[in-house]
Amino acid sequence: MVAGAFPLVKLGSLVIKQASKPVANAMKRRAKSSPFFKKYVCMPPAQIYHWFEVNFRLNLMGLGRAKHVDKLSDEMATELGAEMLGEFIIFSIAVGTLMYEYNRSATKEEIKEERERQKLLSLEKKIQDLGLETEKQGTQIRELERTVSDLNTRNLSLTARIFGTGKT
C-alpha cells in the first residue's frame, strides 16, 4: 500500500462532506421556494417532528402526554422542514461516503486475503511436490544401495575365485 494514498482518501471524503453542505443549502432554498416541496416534502416531516418533540419534552418533565399539539405555522414548518431536509442530505452523503470507503476497504482486504490464500496453496503444492520428489529420490537411493550391494557381492565372489581365498 502506498503510504500517501491513505491521507488522500481521507482528504477526499472530507471534501465530499464539505461539498455536500452547499448542495444541502441549495436544496433548502429550492424547498422553501417550491410549493410542491413546501407542501409535500418540508411541512409534513416538520409537523411530525414538532409533535414528537412536544410529547417528548412533556414526558421528560413528567407532565405526561399532550392531548392536543398545535401545529407549526406554515413558515416555521417550512423552515424546520428545509433544515431537516438539509441535514438529511448531508447525513446521506456522509453515510454514502462511509459505505463507499467501507466497501473499498473490504474489497482491498478480500483481494489481499485471496493473494495470501493463493500463496498458501502454491506453497502447499510445492511442499507436496517436494514430498513426491523425496519419495522418488528415496526409491532411487534404495535401488542404488541394492545395486552397490549386488556389485559388492559379485566383487567379493570374483576376488575369491581369482585369488582363491574364501568360499567359492
Q: Does a structural domain hold residue 167?
A: no
Q: Residues 46, 85: contact at Cβ < 8 Å?
A: no
Q: Which domain holds residue 48?
A: 5-132
Q: Considering only CA atoms, which of 33, 35, 29, 36 is closest in space to residue 85? A: 29
Domain count, the chain: 1
Q: pLDDT per residue over 108-133, tens digit each? A: 999 999 999 999 999 999 999 999 99
d(CA 59, CA 56): 5
- Which stretches in the chain have pLDDT values below 70? 1-9, 13, 165-168
Instruction: Provide the grid cell at 68.
Output: 392536543
Q: Does a structural domain hold residue 151?
A: no
Q: Does a structural domain hold residue 142?
A: no
pTM (whole model) above 0.85: no
Residue 8 amino acid letter: L
Q: Does a structural domain hold residue 73?
A: yes
Q: Does a structural domain hold residue 59?
A: yes
Q: Considering only CA atoms, which of 70, 72, 69 is closest in space to residue 82? A: 72
